[in-house]
Amino acid sequence: MKILIAYFSLSGNTEWLAKEIGNQIETVDCHQIELADPNPAKGNWAVFWYGFKTIFNQSMNIKSDNLDLSEYDLVLIGMPIWTDNVPPPIRAFLNKHHSELSMVSVGIFATYGGDYKKFFENVKQRLPNLTIKGTLAIPTTDGEWKNHVIGQILDFLTEVLKKNIWISSH
């Protein structure tokens, strides 16, 4: 089975999680989605600026990639939750690869600082045509969060991999 992990991370939490998920899979390709023009602002200004863009549905350019997602059986897409929603750089990635993604199975993972419930509702609304096989949301407010995630990662992988095996064997 060919698996891709594609993630965006502004401050490193989702990147860490993406790599930790990748460490549990024998063969996996990993792609970092990067902003073409990141805002140099830090701290609250960055939260305000990126949050504003997200709330008002403003697009953000990402660096180009040569990926063909239809080559994969499973694509795991990772992101931080921004204003309960999908960050604009992930929206750009999804728009670019929309038709390929409709041919593959998808898992969504996210890190967040407050709450994740509205986020998955928003994901489903935004991506009605995707076959989402599993979801994972990890809170990053507790300084020890990295020490407690392995069980949830394994549950997530079991969910996304099991359903794929089931589909391919029927």
Ligand X SMILES: Cc1cc2nc3c(=O)[nH]c(=O)nc-3n(C[C@H](O)[C@H](O)[C@H](O)COP(=O)(O)O)c2cc1C
CA distances from 120 to 65, 79, 89, 133 (A): 26, 12, 17, 13
Which residues are 108's β-sheet partners?
Answer: 77, 135
Of the residues 55, 59, 98, 115, which one makes contact with ligand X according to CB under 6 A: 115
> Please, which residue, 13 or 105, has the CB nearer to ligand X?
13
Contacts for 66 with CB less than 8 Å, ≥ 6 apart:
none
**Shortest distance in whole angstroms from residue 59 CB to ligand X:** 15
Min dist. Cβ of residue 118 to ligand X (A): 8
Of 15 and 136, which has the nearer Cβ to ligand X? 15
Dihedral sign for Cα 95, 56, 39, 127, please.
negative
- Interacting positions 27-86 with ligand X (CB under 6 A): 47, 50-51, 80-84
Asked if 156 touches ligand X (CB under 6 A), the answer is no
**Which residue, 8, 3, 22, is CA-closest to 153?**
22
Could you say which of 111, 127, 133, 164 contacts ligand X (CB under 6 A)? 111
Number of residues in contact with ligand X under rule CB under 6 A:
21
Looking at the Cβ atoms of 56 and 166, the one nearer to ligand X is 56
| H or E stretch at 110 | strand 105-112
Q: Check residue 14 for interaction with ligand X (CB under 6 A).
A: yes
Pick from 112, 135, 149, 164 the residue near ligand X by CB under 6 A.
Answer: 112
End-to-end distance of the chain based on CA atoms, in angstroms?
16
Which of helix, strand or coil describes residue 77? strand
Applying CB under 6 A, the residues found at the interface with ligand X are: 9-15, 47, 50-51, 80-84, 111-115, 140
